[in-house]
Amino acid sequence: MAINIESVLANYNKDDLTIGVLGGHSALDVCSGAKERGFRTVAICQKGRDLTYSKYYKTRNGKGCVDEVILVDKFADIVKPEIQEQLRAMNTIFVHNRYFWVYCNFEEIEKEFNVPIFGTREMLKLEERDVPNNQYILMEKAGIRIPKIIRQGGTQTDKATLDKAFDNHFVTNKGGPLLVKANEAIRSYERAFFVITNQDDFYRIGADMIKNEKTTQANIDNAVIEEFIIGAQVNFNFFYSSLTGELELMGTDMRRQTSMDGFLRLDSVTQSQLITSGYKPSMVENGHVAITVKESILEKAFAIGEKFVEISKKEAAPGIIGPFALQGAVDSQHGTEEIVIFDVSMRIPGSPGTRFTPYSGYLYGQPLSFGDRIAMEIRVAAYKNTLHQILT
């Protein structure tokens, strides 16, 4: 089925639009902002994982933010013709999130999901590190500093070649720790991170994680291995308006990880005893913490954000639309504070707490969530008949 968004929009009632989401990740953030600005909302939920949307935050008696719920056997069923027909009948504009691209097939969404998406649907696959023109390649082209890469994702190397790369880093250049990003065994969309300080760590820790079924040999063989930045971690959450051509900083946050957060609260003696006994803290993300940065860092943050917007227009037209996040750390090893980016979210990041940082309020006079800002953009575009500029 050929995607023709303009023909779909031609049949939409622009005065009765619905904002749609997949039931997970940042759905409540989107639905809350949409309801605040007068839109109907719909969440497509997988059976057995729907109560957050079908019960606890379902609209009733002036409460809640999810108007309609469409239940499917599995999230990937959203591409079924009958589900798409329901969404189009509701004049739905779909806001994609991490769940959407984890549980659905990239190619099916790009080529068969004939529902308007707020954002650039073709860019989402570039978050993966084993595809052409991926996020690291885009950042390199843009001149954004990224961690030094020892091995690209999806690039298998023989042991001799890898050991030579380790020697060059640890011995020749007296390099610092490295971060290994291997996919988990069960949740393949999540990464089983571990840090190494020498090449023996790589083989020993990798073998232990395989033995404990945290990952697989294939995942270790295809893992990204990169410089571990010892700095203050910050996620810079942006919104680029295709209507105004302006870049906005919505907020800053950092990840909260299980079980690393709890491990770091232990005293050093207990940490050492646990590590010696074979304990390995995990870095599974389970939330975010709103943080702030010094004002002297803001100009640097906007600079890298603008670089990413421009390279996305050049390399992945029409480029980034709406929300995205550059996730990294502030490094000062070379005598000055420098932002290093090690992950890009090319859609709404899963951090509703960004509204509790002051940056959107500095611009708009009141703090805005991503859901608020997305709904504002859609409302303006519908009024000005420019929806085609923000939808793909």
Give the model's confidence band at 154: pLDDT under 50 very low, under 70 low, under 90 confident, else very high.
low
Do the bridges between strand 117-118 and strand 92-95 make them parallel or antiparallel, or are there none, so unpaired?
parallel
Residue 130 scores a pLDDT above 80: no
282-334 per-position pLDDT tens digit: 777 788 999 999 999 999 999 999 999 999 999 999 999 999 999 999 998 77
Distance of alpha carbon 313 from alpha carbon 293, whole angstroms: 28
Contact 149, 372 (CB under 8 A): no
Average pLDDT over residues 166-183: 92
Structure tokens at 294: 């010094």
- Most confident region among 21-35, 150-164, 253-267 by mean pLDDT: 21-35
User: Phi and psi of 357, rounded to 5°?
Assistant: -100, 160
Write down the pLDDT at residue 280: 76
| Closest CA relative to residue 303, chosen from 143, 180, 193, 151 | 143
Element (H, E) at 194: strand 191-196
Instruction: Give the whole-angstrom CA distance, residue 111 versus residue 203.
Output: 41
Mean pLDDT of 215-244: 94
Which band of pLDDT confidence, cut at 50, 70 and 90, is reported for residue 366?
very high
CA atoms of 77 and 17, how far apart (whole Å): 22
Alpha-carbon radius of gyration of the chain: 22
Whether the pLDDT of residue 102 is over 90: the answer is no
Number of H helices, E strands in the chain: 15, 14
Distance, in Å, from the CA atom of 362 to the CA atom of 175, rounded to the nearest integer, reads 40
